Amino acid sequence: MNMDREKVLKMQLAKGDETAFSDFYNQHWEHLFKYAIGILSNKEEAADVVQETFIAFWDARHLVREIANLQAYLYVIARNKAFKYLRSSLKKHEVLERFVRFYADVDEQTEHKVDTNDLSTVIDAEISRLPEKMRQIFIMSRKEHLSHNEIAEKLQISDLTVKKQISNALKYLRLRMANDIFYPLIFFFINFF
């Protein structure tokens, strides 16, 4: 991109010109997606990283005039977001290992109380109490295993709305079941499955 075009683009972005942003997005999303896949090796996570990168870029548009190279700035955001996903993934794996170690020593008396069907019934009952739209999105995510993008497309809402609804559903379920004797097991099921 030549210096004059980038200067004009920076001015347009700083003013909140959505058309300029859309053009910038269309010009860079595919390369950014390939870059994110190179780090994460997962298309869905890479797509999330690209989406979050452009959201962060748009949110910081008032700073673009100070940025020397917009493309380089975009890739730095993507790299940081991808590494954040990797750290999060490692933490989930660590939690799973701790969970398995902790419950490997459960005595037989507790073991027979934990019936997967009962646990599923408890979780389903709490899910049924969620507000309708939140419940629909949560079920599509956790039971139908649809990605945020797929849910957003089916319901014709934004990815951010999907993420927020899932986050709110998880908070609600954690609060509702916090006093349950099997809370650690329930927490594991609703967060990772």
Return the CATH number at 13.
1.10.1740.10
Residues 188 and 121 placed together within one structural domain of the fold: yes
- Between 92 and 51, the higher pLDDT residue: 51
- Between 112 and 37, the higher pLDDT residue: 37
Residues 122 and 188 placed together within one structural domain of the fold: yes
Mean pLDDT confidence for 8-14: 87
- Between 17 and 103, the higher pLDDT residue: 17
pTM: 0.49
- 146: containing domain: 108-192
- Between 172 and 50, the higher pLDDT residue: 50
Residues 112 and 164 placed together within one structural domain of the fold: yes
Mean pLDDT confidence for 74-89: 86
One-character DSSP codes across the chain: --HHHHHHHHHHHHTT-HHHHHHHHHHHHHHHHHHHHHHH--HHHHHHHHHHHHHHHHHTGGGGGG-S-HHHHHHHHHHHHHHHHHHHHHHHHHHHHHHHHHHHT--HHHHHH--HHHHHHHHHHHHHTS-HHHHHHHHHHHTS---HHHHHHHHT--HHHHHHHHHHHHHHHHHHHTTSTTHHHHHHHHHH-
- Between 93 and 33, the higher pLDDT residue: 33
Residues 137 and 171 placed together within one structural domain of the fold: yes
- In the predicted structure, residue 129 carries a pLDDT above the cut 70: yes
Mean pLDDT confidence for 49-58: 93
With respect to residue 146, please indicate whether it lies within any of the assigned structural domains: yes
With respect to residue 95, please indicate whether it lies within any of the assigned structural domains: no
